[in-house]
């Protein structure tokens, strides 16, 4: 599961318009401050994508937990429901051994979170597919992938568009203990910039997770819940 965005160093190296400005700022002793702000803008976009990825994984995890709590031998009916804070609809299908989730409204809008309104963040969910396969006695294997596009107007970077892709490389839920372990891979591609890979690992329970986000110029911790993750970067 991943998102790709131009890093600030690559932007400086590739933009003939930005270079003279930074040469001037360096002479004024302001380049360190500007570089720090650009890095913060990069990080904000990447962490927003990470949060969306974790929330999308929660959709299948919550379905698994609900089925585990149902009467033994029962199979939940196929249902469709809206994803919270989006204009998107997903549909679930289930058998005693497997549960799947598919996005029905391809290219639907994701509501802008409060922290994204300052830079006019817009996100679109292009596709989403998840599955959960029973592995007796009480383990569930999670697989899945999705794609998001992002657009933002940043104070120093200006207008930026990015495409993101993510996948579950390894995902295990133990329904008897209520625990999970996830290894997610994300890629970010901003405008004409290079592909940036990000690794996200979390463990714990659906309501209480701990983990890390590691990538190019990105080192963060993950806390909170799967549906409402907190990502703090240094």
**pLDDT per position as a tens digit, 99-122:** 999 999 999 999 999 989 988 999
pLDDT band at 69 (very low <50, low <70, confident <90, very high): confident
**pLDDT per position as a tens digit, 173-228:** 999 999 999 999 999 888 877 899 999 999 999 999 999 999 988 999 999 999 99
Q: HSE on the CB side for 172, CA within 13 Å?
A: 10
- Torsion of the alpha carbons at 66, 69, 71 and 73, rounded to the nearest 10: 70
**pLDDT per position as a tens digit, 20-49:** 443 444 444 446 665 666 667 778 888 999
Q: Say what the pLDDT of residue 212 is.
A: 98
Q: Say what the pLDDT of residue 11 is.
A: 40
Tell me if 189 sits within 8 A of 163, measured CB to CB.
yes
């Amino acid at each position: 599961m991943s998102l790709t965005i131009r890093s600030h160093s690559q932007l400086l190296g590739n933009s003939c318009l930005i270079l003279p400005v930074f040469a001037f700022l360096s002479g004024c002793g302001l380049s360190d401050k500007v570089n720090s702000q650009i890095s913060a803008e990069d990080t904000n976009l990447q962490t927003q994508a990470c949060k969306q990825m974790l929330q999308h994984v929660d959709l299948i995890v919550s379905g698994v937990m609900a089925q585990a709590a149902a009467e033994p031998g029962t199979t939940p009916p196929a249902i469709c429901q809206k994803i919270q804070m989006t204009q998107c609809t997903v549909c679930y299908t289930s058998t005693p051994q497997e549960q799947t989730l598919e996005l029905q409204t391809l290219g639907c809008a994701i509501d802008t979170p409060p922290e994204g309104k300052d830079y006019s963040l817009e996100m679109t969910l292009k596709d989403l597919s998840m599955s959960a396969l029973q592995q007796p006695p009480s383990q569930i294997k999670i697989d899945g992938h999705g794609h998001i596009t992002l657009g933002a107007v940043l104070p120093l970077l200006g207008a930026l568009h990015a495409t993101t892709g993510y996948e579950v490389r390894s995902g295990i839920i133990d329904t008897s203990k209520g625990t999970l372990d996830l290894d997610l891979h994300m890629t970010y591609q901003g405008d004409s910039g290079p592909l940036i890979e990000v690794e996200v690992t979390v463990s714990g329970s659906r309501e209480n997770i701990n983990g890390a986000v590691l990538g190019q110029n990105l080192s963060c911790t993950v806390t909170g819940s799967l549906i409402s993750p907190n990502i703090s970067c240094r």
